[in-house]
Amino acid sequence: MTLELTAQDRSMLDGEQGSSAAAAMKILLAFSNSIGARGLLDITGAHIDGCLYHGKAGLDFVERLVEGGGRVQVPTTLNVGSFDLIHPGMVKMPAAEEVPARRLMKAHLELGCQATFTCAPYQTRFRPSFGEQIAWGESNAIVFANSVIGARTNRYGDFIDLCCAMTGRAPAWGLHLSENRRGRILFELDVQAGEPSDSLFVGVGLFIGQASGDRIPVIAGLPRPRDEDQLKALGAAAATTGAVALFHAVGITPEAMTLDKAFQGHAPDETIRITRADIDHALARLSTVPNGAPLAAVSLGTPHFSHEEWMRLLPLLREAAPGRRIPIYVNTGRATLTRLQEEGALDGMEAFGLIPVADTCTYVTAILEHLDGAVMTNSGKWAHYAPGNIGVSVAFAEMEDCIRSAAVGHVVRSAS
């Protein structure tokens, strides 16, 4: 266990840069030792998944860093919290839980983190570039950064993401290093698709997540996506059913312009064919109610809706014109919401039942009302987690079907 430290690392460890930096460095070194890293490397940004309140220890940790005068050393974004700070009253929570949960979000700001409160930091001005070394938490953000952007992060989580931000360092290990980014398992997609639907990308994600284990998946034959939101949905689904932190899509993602590049010249350990039936099976498992079931709400935007997704949704709302009886929740980042408001894009949309949600997500906290009916979503991740998290029944479908269903009050899906 010989971890090479720079003079700067050692100074931090020895407390010359404050007690908070010293604590963060000590924890980071213990982590680095236990994974066998040889040293640390500089990072240019961090994304912290620490704002959801899970117990006192999590809050105590951040408070201690604040008391020690700690500041993050690199631009640092924050994942969702338990509250929508933009729309007070949206989340219902007993006061005894609300006080520490709100404090947790605020304490992170006192460390110098940015008030992004989004699970899609890649949709903010803090989006990293190709090749940047970063330390990110939140599974969908990690897989997006690695796969779609070609930035480099491991799956960082509890405490360690923040220790990286407080020190500006990460262990030189895993996906930070080029040789560890090569594909290991090949998925050959054997699906005829004219206009590739959003659900095809979700289905591929669900499938590779389940089948990859800890091997990096390479997808051959994936239709060219309409936009990066389809890759976002694929990655989020893969990180839901599995531990995928990086996927390559041949001819599409930046480190996989060819099959050979995706595998860095090696042969795949295993090749698996994905058929239409595999996709249909994976998607069918997301729905717990059949067509025709009464609808209680629609939830979109897991991961947080991009501006482009809003631009697809708003015309659909005007066209299908659902009444306000069935709420259509759309989770999004506060920066995206501000932009939409400045553009006047949301004016009058509440008449269709639209309820924008910022800073949090409808499946991690108590937002949804009237749970006597199914909730419809176009998100594989939401459909997977919501039944366990908030006890709802779910119907998964394309966004168009979600909006049409809201107009008629029960689950309808187009024939496709």
Partner 1 sequence: MTRPVERTGTFQLAGEADGLALVFSQPLSFWGGMDAETGEITDHSHPGLGQNVAGKILVMPSGRGSSSSSSVLAEAIRRGTAPAGILLERPDPILAVGAIVAEFLYDIRMPLVVCDISNLVSGDQIDIGIGKDGGPIVRVHLPSIRQSHAANRRPPAFDRDQVP
> With binding defined as CB under 8 A, does residue 55 bind partner 1?
yes
Three-state SS across 331-377? EECHHHHHHHHHHCCCCCHHHHCEEEEECCCCCCCCCCCCCCCEEEE
Nearest to 77 by CA among 107, 114, 112: 114
> With binding defined as CB under 8 A, does residue 61 bind partner 1?
yes
> With binding defined as CB under 8 A, does residue 67 bind partner 1?
no
Q: Tell me how far apart the alpha carbons of residues 56 and 254 are, in angstroms, rounded to a whole number.
A: 41
Return the residues of window 35-54 that contact partner 1 according to CB under 8 A: 35-36, 54
Site string for partner 1, 152-191 (x = CB under 8 A): ---xxxxxx-------------------------------
| CB of residue 282 to partner 1, shortest distance in Å | 21
Q: Which stretch binds partner 1 (CB under 8 A): 151-159, 212-220, 222-230, 399-407?
A: 151-159
Q: Tell me how far apart the alpha carbons of residues 92 and 101 are, in angstroms, rounded to a whole number.
A: 12
- Tell me which DSSP letter residue 175 carries: G
| CB of residue 309 to partner 1, shortest distance in Å | 28
Site string for partner 1, 291-320 (x = CB under 8 A): ------------------------------
Complex with partner 1: residue 50 or 168, whichever CB lies closer:
50
> With binding defined as CB under 8 A, does residue 96 bind partner 1?
no
| CB of residue 312 to partner 1, shortest distance in Å | 33
Query: Residue 270: CB partners within 8 Å, gap ≥ 6?
Result: 184, 185, 186, 215
Question: Across the strands, what pairs with 41?
Answer: 170
Q: Tell me how far apart the alpha carbons of residues 100 and 62 are, in angstroms, rounded to a whole number.
A: 12
Question: Helical H runs in 256-350?
Answer: 259-262, 276-284, 307-320, 334-343
| CB of residue 147 to partner 1, shortest distance in Å | 19
Which backbone phi and psi does 308 adopt, to 5 degrees? -65, -40
Query: Residue 189: CB partners within 8 Å, gap ≥ 6?
Result: 204, 219, 220, 221, 222, 274
> With binding defined as CB under 8 A, does residue 363 bind partner 1?
no
Site string for partner 1, 2-41 (x = CB under 8 A): ---------------------x--xx--xx-xxxx-----
Complex with partner 1: residue 135 or 219, whichever CB lies closer:
135
Complex with partner 1: residue 146 or 230, whichever CB lies closer:
146
How many of the chain's residues bind partner 1 (CB under 8 A)? 25
- Tell me which DSSP letter residue 244 carries: -
The residues that touch partner 1, with contacts defined as CB under 8 A, are 1, 23, 26-27, 30-31, 33-36, 54-58, 60-61, 64, 137, 155-160
